[in-house]
A and B are shown apart, each in its own frame.
Chain A
Amino acid sequence: MTYKITRDENISTIYLTGEIDMDVTEQAKELIMPVIEEKKEVHLNLKDVEYMDSSGISVLIESHQKAMELGTRVVLKEISKSVLKVIMMAKLEQILILE
């Protein structure tokens, strides 16, 4: 997994690339959580995420819940087909914020 972060006044965008599995879960959380703690809206761009398993889905749920606690939100953007399939399999398309 590789990443890039861009920040503007109100929104931070994290572009994730590659495969998100158990091996990179901690790395993904260490990357995403501090950005959420800045309390700006966070966009997770998943266009270039080729594979995500249940561990990756857990990171998305945890991120969403953390943002809600802090009064902000995490928006999933440009979700790749394979990731969307897993999100829908977990019936999370109505829970997570997808745009």
Chain B
Amino acid sequence: MDITEIKDFPVNSKSLREVREFSREVISRSSILEESKEELVLAIGEAAQNIVKHAYKDNLDTNDKMQIKISFKNKILEIGFFDKGKPIVEENIKHRSLDDIKPGGLGTYFIQQIMDEVVFKEATGWHNNLVLTKKY
């Protein structure tokens, strides 16, 4: 069964619960995805959190929306994140070393552990477009 679902969310930390609820609902539609639902919800939640925390770091009172697109076709899950925050410099994104025990810096690591591919793409009308992919 093919799935394509798109939803906009206000860019703030209160939206993260709504992002997870949306993700759980969409993922639950596929028995293939259902098995890794909680991991996928974590990856999606972390990516959305990064938008709030980093792309809008200096603009916490924004009225902007971020958009999340989940599609599952031919056993390939693709999750797109679109925002109009500060453009991300991909080279600057790295998780902390796991041996360096300190708070923070784990979200990107979780995303990389859960997904097969994590890339930034160009998207007309948006400043950042992160695409997470996983093959089943």
Minimal beta-carbon separation of B69 from chain A (angstroms): 21
Interface centre among B45, B52, B113 (most CB of A within 10 A): B45
Q: Is the interface of A mostly helix, strand, loop or mixed?
A: helix
Contact at B46–A23, with CB atoms within 8 Å?
no
> Contact: B49 with A21, CB < 8 Å?
yes
Instruction: For residue B79, give the distance in angstroms from its CB to the closest CB of chain A.
Output: 16
Looking at B84-92, B99-107, B116-124, B125-133, the stretch in contact with chain A turns out to be B99-107
Q: Which of B14, B106, B113 contacts A58 (CB 8 A)?
A: B106
Per-position 1/0 for A33-67, Cβ under 8 A of B:
00000000000000000010111011101100100
B20 / chain A contacts, CB cutoff of 8 Å:
19, 51
A54 B113 Cβ-Cβ under 8 A: no
Interface of B is mostly: helix
* A55, A57, A58: residue with the most chain B Cβ atoms closer than 10 Å: A55
Please determine whether A85 and B38 come into contact, CB atoms closer than 8 angstroms: yes
Asked if residues A22 and B103 are in contact (CB atoms below 8 Å), the reply is: no
Residue on A nearest B20 in the bound complex, by CB: A51
Given A61-B102, A95-B101, CB of A22 within 8 Å of CB of B52: yes
Number of interface residues of B (CB under 8 A): 25
**B110 CB contacts on chain A under 8 angstroms:** 53-54, 86, 89-90
Cβ–Cβ < 8 Å partners of B41 in chain A:
51
Are A54 and B101 CB-contacts (below 8 A) given A21-B13, A22-B13, A23-B14? no
- A54 and B46 form a contact (CB under 8 A): yes
Q: Residue A4 at the B interface, CB < 8 A?
A: no
Q: Considering the chains assembled together, what is the distance between the CA atoms of A61 and B102 in angstroms? A: 6
